[in-house]
Amino acid sequence: MRYIGIDAPEIAHQGEPAEYFGKEAAEKNRGLVLGKRVRLEKDVEDKDKYGRLLRYVWTDNTMVNAELVKLGYAYSYAYPPNIKYQTYFLRMEKEAREHERGLWSAKN
């Protein structure tokens, strides 16, 4: 499955090294969804060109896609035509940058 509207750093796979902050992003995502009931929301397209489901992921009232951006574990990234929450994602990324969270941390 592909989270719509965001681009998170990749962990190591298929012989490729992990991207900067990939392990941290994967761990944060795991913490947000593991053991929780999730609701998946579709936008315009059902799947991407690789056959992965395209979804917004919700736990209770939290959209995991946006939370990852807000906390600095992912970038806002538009994948038209699936842009229902893109303005929201851009606001969350701006907030993460302003507060130097995660990827935007001055320590990194």
The residues assigned a catalytic role are: 2, 10, 52
**Rounded CA separation 41/65 (Å):** 11
CA angle, residues 52, 9, 81, in degrees to nearest 5: 45
